[in-house]
Every structure is written in structure tokens, then in C-alpha cells.
Amino acid sequence: MIARLRLFWRDALALLFAVGDRRTPTRARLAALLALAYALSPVDLLPDVVPLAGWGDDLLVVPTILALAARGLPAPVLADARVRSTLLQRRLPWLLPGLGLLALVGAGLLVWGLLRALSG
């Protein structure tokens, strides 16, 4: 599972690098930006305040849009972006665990807040 997560993280970073590349087609760039906007937007298919189900649509929709964006990238752009992503991961090996810890703390605070609001 950790290996899959690392590959996903590498590809997500690679897509971020590819968006900034001049060789990236506009269509792929727009799809990547759409995925980012959907992930950050408070307007979802299922609101994020619905426990688990609210994040479930993000876990399905965002990677699907990102995969479609990656398919629209020329092979040399994707290869260069993956190299940059791998180099960043080697320089900052704590980044992925740090973000995971941050997500867990955020989820814990959200659950704590919900439980406190429901009991009070």
C-alpha cells in the first residue's frame, strides 16, 4: 500500500510540474486545474461535512480527472515531470509522511469538533 501511495504521490507531483511546462496542451492543463478546483471547492457532489461520504466523492472524482489530464500529456513532458517529482521526493523524504500526519490531525480535529457540537 505504501508503494502505491508513493507512486500516486509521484504522479500527482509530476502532474503539478507538467501543468507549468510550456509543452503541456491546454486541455490537459485545464483538466488538472479543474481537479484542483474540485478538491478545494466547498461545492461537491456530496458535501465534505457528511462524514466519510463527503470525502469519498473527492477520492473518486479527483484522481479520475487527474488520470484524464495525465493521458493528455505528451510522453516527454510526463517523463521530465516524473524525474522532477522523484528528485523532489528524494530531497524531501519527510514531505509525504508529514502531509499524511497533517491529514490525520485535521480529520481528528474535525471528528472532535463534530462530536462536541452534537453533544452540546
Q: What is the 3-state secondary structure (H, E, C) of the chain?
A: CHHHHHHHHHHHHHHHHHHCCCCCCHHHHHHHHHHHHHHHCCCCCCCCCCCCHHHHHHHHHHHHHHHHHHHCCCHHHHHHHHHHHHHHHHHCCCHHHHHHHHHHHHHHHHHHHHHHHHHC
Please list the pLDDT of the chain residue by residue as tens digits (120 residues): 667 766 777 777 888 888 888 999 999 888 888 887 777 776 766 666 666 666 777 777 777 887 888 888 899 998 999 899 888 878 776 666 777 778 888 888 888 888 888 886
Predicted pLDDT at 77: 92
Distance in angstroms (rounded) separating the CA atoms of residues 35 and 63: 8
